[in-house]
Amino acid sequence: MADLPESPANGLPPLRIGDREFGSRLIMGTGGAENLAVLEEALVASGTELTTVAMRRVDAAGGTGVLDLLKRLDIMPLPNTAGCRTAAEAVLTANLAAEALGTTWVKLEVVADERTLLPDPIELLSAAEQLVDAGFTVLPYTNDDPVLARRLEDAGCAAVMPLGAPIGTGLGIGNPHNIEMIVGAAGVPVILDAGIGTASDAALAMELGCSAVLLATAVTRAKQPPLMAAAMADAVRAGLLARHAGRIPKRFWAQASSPSTP
Amino acid sequence: MTAMSIPIGVTVNGEDHEFAEPLTVRQLLERLALPCQGVAVAVDGAVFPKSRWDEQVGRGWTIEVLTAVQGG
pLDDT in tens, B15-56: 999 999 999 999 999 999 998 888 999 999 999 999 999 999
A207 half-sphere exposure, CB direction, 13 A CA radius: 16
- Whether residue B71 contacts residue A30, with contact meaning beta carbons closer than 8 Å, is answered with yes
| A71 is an active site residue | no
The whole-angstrom separation of Cα B60 and Cα B7 is 10
Q: What is the ipTM of this complex?
A: 0.86
Q: CA-CA distance, A208 to A204, in Å (whole number)? A: 6
- Asked whether the beta carbons of B54 and A82 are under 8 A apart, the reply is no
B residues 6-45 closer than 8 Å to A (CB): 13-14, 32-35, 37-42, 45
pLDDT digits (tens, 9 = 90+) for A108-150: 999 999 999 999 999 999 999 999 999 999 999 999 999 999 9
Task: Please give the Cα distance from A45 to A41 (Å, whole number).
Answer: 6
Mean pLDDT, to the nearest integer, of A87-91? 95
Verify whether the Cβ–Cβ distance A58 to B50 is below 8 Å: no
Q: Is the pLDDT of residue A2 over 50?
A: no
Instruction: Provide φ and ψ at A156, rounded to 5°.
Output: 105, 15
Q: Output the CA torsion sign for A69, A73, A77, A82.
A: negative
pLDDT-derived band at A224 (thresholds 50, 70, 90) equals: very high
Q: What is the DSSP letter of B57?
A: P
CB contact under 8 A, A58 and B34: yes
Q: What percent of chain A has pLDDT over 70?
A: 94
Please state the pTM of the whole predicted model. Answer: 0.89
What is the pLDDT at residue A1?
47
Residue A160 near residue A142 (C-beta atoms within 8 A): yes
Query: What is residue A4's predicted lDDT score, i.e. its pLDDT?
Result: 43
Q: Three-state DSSP class for A56?
A: strand
From chain A, pick out residues whose CB is under 8 angstroms from the CB of B64.
57
- Inter-chain contacts counted by CB atoms under 8 A, chains A and B: 101
Task: Please tell me the predicted confidence (pLDDT) of residue A5.
Answer: 46
Q: Between A9 and A256, where is the model more confident?
A: A256
Say if residue A7's pLDDT is above 80: no
Distance of CA A218 to the CA centre of its chain: 12
Inform me whether the pLDDT recorded for A48 exceeds 80. Answer: yes
For the ranges A49-63, A69-83, B50-64, the lowest mean pLDDT is seen at A49-63
A31 or A105, greater pLDDT: A105
Q: Cα dist. A39→A22, A51, A216 in Å?
A: 20, 11, 10
Number of H helices, E strands in chain B: 1, 5
A167-215: pLDDT as tens digits:
999 999 999 999 999 999 999 999 999 999 999 999 999 999 999 999 9
pLDDT > 90? residue A78: yes
Stretch A158-173: mean pLDDT: 97
Per-residue b or e along A33-52, where b marks 16 or more CB atoms closer than 10 Å to that residue's CB: beeeebbbbbbebbbbbbbb
